[in-house]
Amino acid sequence: MTLFVNNLTHLDVSLWCPQRGLIGASWHVDVELDGQLGEDGMLFDFGEVKPWVKSHLDSGPDHTLLVPLEAPGLSVHDCNEGLCVRTVTPYAMEVRGPRQAFSLLPWREITPQRLAAHYSDLLSRRPPPRVESIRLRLHEEPIDGAAFTYSHGLKRHVGNCQRIAHGHRSRLRIWAQGSRQPELETAWAERLHDRYLVTEEDIVDAGPPGPQGQLTVRYKAAQGQFQIRLPRDRCITMPTPTTVEHIAAWLSKSIVSESGNEVRVQAFEGIGKGAFSGPRRTMAAG
């Protein structure tokens, strides 16, 4: 007998891609559980499935930097902060932080299929009573329209969002004069795509101008000391914390400044959550 739960939870992570560099990702998590029915006529109580699986994923890959240990030009070593990850290609980057901020995986490249198989195996080693095996499926949210991935860290967050390299894949919606603006959405999504969002006050070294300049961000949070250094052209600096509320407000203000048009922005933080900014009267359905 197999029990299934679709869209049981979400994973929000950053990962190192040998082709694209540091990118954010958000995946739906579906689960199937094989086993034998009990006397109560159930394999496993639905009310227990979600917290059991979710707790293991929350304490594992969620809100971490997924590191493919066999990627070309990548190295990992111990440091004062905990672990240090360094890369060479497609660009130079260094991330330092407590060990729990990283998921080290013995592959050349991260894929949702490989990640799902890996954690299916881990969960199946000590399954709940009556459960014989567990299978996870990770898949992206279907997005019709503009979308982008980004990475960031929130030092004041009490949970795992304080980790300096976690990320999201997000929708972007913009309204002006009562109607959606798909061209504007696409243009801004392209600007933000695969970027690291920086809080200005956390910059400790802005580096020299030009394509070779590197920007260094450092902060101390409840879980420990964090630092990231990467090319300036891969970063977008904001004068505020990079929460989704501030991202929406920053986008709205930036678009108005460039175009002179009043807009309303709907910014997403991964799947199914986010913030609006701008006058409500400019928003229309769609």
How high is the pLDDT of residue 210? 64
Report pLDDT for 46. 79
Q: What is the mean pLDDT of residues 30-51?
A: 85
**In whole angstroms, what is the distance from residue 252 CA to residue 244 CA?**
12
The larger pLDDT score, comparing residue 149 to residue 126, is at 149
What is d(CA 15, CA 127) in angstroms, rounded to the nearest whole number? 28
pLDDT in tens, 158-211: 999 999 999 999 999 999 988 999 999 999 999 999 999 999 999 998 877 766
- Specify the pLDDT at position 284: 46
The rounded percent of the chain whose pLDDT value lies above 90 is 83
**Confidence label for 40 from pLDDT (cuts 50, 70 and 90):** confident
The whole-number pLDDT of residue 282 equals 44
Q: Which domain holds residue 130?
A: 2-282
- Reported as a pLDDT band with limits 50, 70 and 90, residue 283 is very low
Using pLDDT thresholds of 50, 70 and 90, give the confidence band for residue 270.
very high
Indicate if the pLDDT at residue 74 is higher than 50.
yes
Other beta carbons less than 10 A from residue 279's beta carbon: 12
String of DSSP letters for 30-54: EEEEEE---TTS-SS-HHHHHHHHH
Q: Is the pTM of this model over 0.85?
A: yes
∠ CA 9-12-18 to the nearest 5 degrees? 135
* Cis peptide upstream of residue 90 (ω within 30 degrees of 0): yes
Packed helices 112-125 and 46-58: angle between N→C axes, nearest 10 degrees? 110
Specify the number of domains making up the chain.
Answer: 1
Which range (31-35, 82-86, 264-268) has the least confidence? 31-35
For the segment 228-253, what is each residue's pLDDT rounded down to a tens digit?
Answer: 999 999 999 999 999 999 999 999 99
Residue 84 pLDDT > 60, yes or no?
A: yes
Q: Stretch 280-285: mean pLDDT, rounded?
A: 52
Q: Mind listing the pLDDT tens digit for each residue in 210-220?
A: 667 899 999 99
Residue 38 is predicted with a pLDDT of 81
Mean pLDDT of the chain: 94
Q: What's the rounded Cα separation, in Å, for the pair 164 and 228? A: 7
* CATH number for the domain that contains residue 81: 3.30.479.10
**Phi, psi dihedrals of residue 43, rounded to the nearest 5°:** -80, -45
The pLDDT of residue 285 is 45
